[in-house]
Amino acid sequence: MTIEFQDVTKRFGQSKALNNVSFTVERGEIVGLLGPNGAGKTTTLRLISGFLYPTRGKVLVSGQDTRNHAREIRSQLGYLPENNPMYEDMKVWEFLSFIGQVFLYRPKKLRRAIANVVEISSLGEVVNKNIGTLSKGFRQRVGLASCLVHDPDILILDEPTSGLDPNQVIEIRNLIKELSSTKTILLSTHILPEVSAICQKVLIMNHGEVVADSAVSVLSKSGETKIHLEIKGKHPELSEQFKIMPEVMTVSHKGQGPNTSFVITADKDISAEISEYCLMKKLAILSLFHEEVSLEDVFRRLTHKNVEN
């Protein structure tokens, strides 16, 4: 099961929520959809699930256009919206049965399906309890179970760990990892460690546009390096010299007592070039080391740059 956006634009009146968005999610991938509030993440998920249609362009699920095949596509999707609404006066099994009846008409098949998702989601101890009495972690498990009753090929999860405590977050992440062995999963979140923990690929959105589409491991490296340099003496003027190096992206400096420290972001490790320059200028290097830029740094750079532009 694949998901494909082809030059998708979505307008709400005069407001443009998505602008010419294109991407593909391949079968069996866990893809993280990242972006600040208002980036277009939830609109993207609703377009995939057929609750919205594009103003321009196409959304394809397994090659089928959501506009023309919404019913068939919805039968292949499990969608967990943010703050998933549930009937709090229902018992867990009643709610799962209620959801399951939309897709599964044979009682025997429905009972087997409910038993299966209760086991997968570890809901056995609360299956006969009212949803309104459950902790947030168990409620989120019930929400995930309701997405799985009809055994969909694709899971669309909108902020699945929002509001959970650290232990509950780990439990839900582990469950999502287990489900990925048989499902294609698109996970919307603003929690960057979540993407690093469970996703193979990341889409970063900002102001309705995709600003990055890459494997997490590739994006985390992103060809960038942070270089930390400390030089003996007061030399703030070196910032301008470092900035004109072709590989350098940003330079910041601060005085530390009698010395000067720099943080240089470059599109590759240029520690050797910086060392050579300092030796040529007869500057005493107290420390020089580099580190890879984190996913958080890449996210901030991409979304901040988009705002500036």
Residue 262 belongs to domain spanning: 223-292
Confidence class of residue 144 from pLDDT cuts 50, 70 and 90? very high
Mean pLDDT of 174-199: 88
Summarised one tens digit per residue, pLDDT across range 99-132 is 999 887 688 889 999 999 999 999 999 999 999 9
Average model confidence (pLDDT) for the chain?
89
Which CATH number does the domain housing residue 266 bear? 3.30.70.260
Question: What is the predicted pLDDT for the residue at 38?
Answer: 87
In a domain, 299, yes or no: no
Domain count, the chain: 2
* Cα angle, residue 15 at apex, residues 9 and 21 outer, rounded to 5°: 20
Do 16 and 140 fall into the same domain? Answer: yes
- The answer to whether residues 169 and 280 belong to one domain is no
The predicted structure's pLDDT at residue 222: 60
Ordered DSSP codes for 96-126: HHHHHTTT---HHHHHHHHHHHHHHTT-GGG
Query: Is residue 19 domain-shared with residue 156, that is, in the same domain?
Result: yes
Same domain, 9 and 117: yes
24, β-bridge pairs:
4
CATH (domain of 177): 3.40.50.300
- Which run of H or E residues covers position 179? helix 166-179
Say if residue 167's pLDDT is above 70.
yes
Q: Note whether 31 and 110 are same-domain residues.
A: yes
Is the domain of 103 the same as that of 214? yes
- Predicted confidence at residue 162, as pLDDT, reads 82
Predicted pLDDT at 44:
95
pTM, two decimals, is 0.75
4 exposed, middle or buried (CB, 10 Å; 0-12, 13-18, 19+)?
Answer: middle
Neighbour order of strands in the sheet with 285-292: 248-256, 259-266, 225-232, 285-292
255 and 210 in a common domain: no
Q: From CA 124, how far away is CA 93, in angstroms rounded?
A: 10
Residue 307 domain-assigned (yes or no):
no
Measured between alpha carbons, how far is 152 from 13 in angstroms, rounded to an integer? 33
pLDDT for 285 beyond 90: yes
Which of 188, 220, 252 lies at the terminal end of a domain, its last residue? 220
Do 240 and 116 share a structural domain? no
Average pLDDT over residues 223-231: 85
pLDDT at 309 over 80: no
Kindly state whether residues 92 and 64 are assigned to the same domain: yes
Reported confidence tier of residue 307, pLDDT bands at 50, 70, 90: very low
87 contact partners, CB below 8 Å, separation of at least 6: 95, 98, 131
Tell me which of 174, 204, 220 is where a domain ends: 220
Please check whether residues 146 and 210 belong to one and the same domain: yes
pLDDT at 290 over 90: no
Q: Is residue 241 domain-shared with residue 128, that is, in the same domain?
A: no
> Given this model, what pLDDT does residue 182 score?
87
How many CA atoms lie less than 13 Å away from 80 in the CB half-sphere?
28
